[in-house]
Amino acid sequence: MAGSFSDFLELEVLDHVFGAAAYTAPVTIYVGLWTAALTDASTGSTAGEVSGGSYARVAVTNNATNFPAAAAGAKSNGTAVTFPTATASWGTVTYVGLLDAASAGNLLAWADLTTSKTVSSGDTASFAIGDIDFTLT
């Protein structure tokens, strides 16, 4: 996957590091799926997020178990992320986003999937440990 921090998070980090305003990391990070492209300018309301068929963003507690310490400029998920079983087609998922709310909210980071995945009724989409990986370069 190739991805990036969102414009929102880039500005928050810059302000935090350079003393303009403190940034408080969210207690919960929500993992969402998109069937349309995300970019740095995307938000938690960007069109193309999967909907219907029992879809819901997956809530992941933002701690060192679920997101272990960064190494070699990268941060990955430390536990599997599993979505509810689809009760209808979700379409072809091409992007994943990390957000600060269960709906809408701010997009923190996004990535395109290395391989797109068609999610049909009865399928359970998931990311194994280490599959969601973000780097700073």
> How would you write 46-67 as a 3-class SS string?
CCCECCCCCCCCEEEECCCCCC
Residue 93's nearest CA partner among 116, 127, 110, 126 is 116
Query: What was the pLDDT predicted at 63?
Result: 98
Q: Are strands 91-99 and 28-34 parallel, antiparallel or unpaired?
A: antiparallel
And the tokens for 90?
Answer: 């979700």
88-122 confidence digits (pLDDT tens): 999 999 999 999 999 999 999 999 999 999 999 99
pLDDT band at 1 (very low <50, low <70, confident <90, very high): low
- Confirm whether pTM is higher than 0.85: yes
For 23-43, b where at least 16 C-beta lie within 10 A, e where not — what string?
Answer: eeebeebbbbbbbeebeeebe
Q: Is the pLDDT of residue 48 over 70?
A: yes
**40-43: Cβ within 8 A, 24+ apart:** 40/4, 40/5, 40/6, 40/7, 40/10, 40/110, 41/6, 41/7, 42/6, 42/97, 42/107, 42/110, 43/6, 43/8, 43/104, 43/106, 43/107
Query: What was the pLDDT predicted at 136?
Result: 80
5-38 confidence digits (pLDDT tens): 999 999 999 999 999 999 999 999 999 999 999 9
Residue 110's nearest CA partner among 27, 25, 10, 22 is 10
Q: How far apart are CA 126 and CA 114, in angstroms?
A: 14
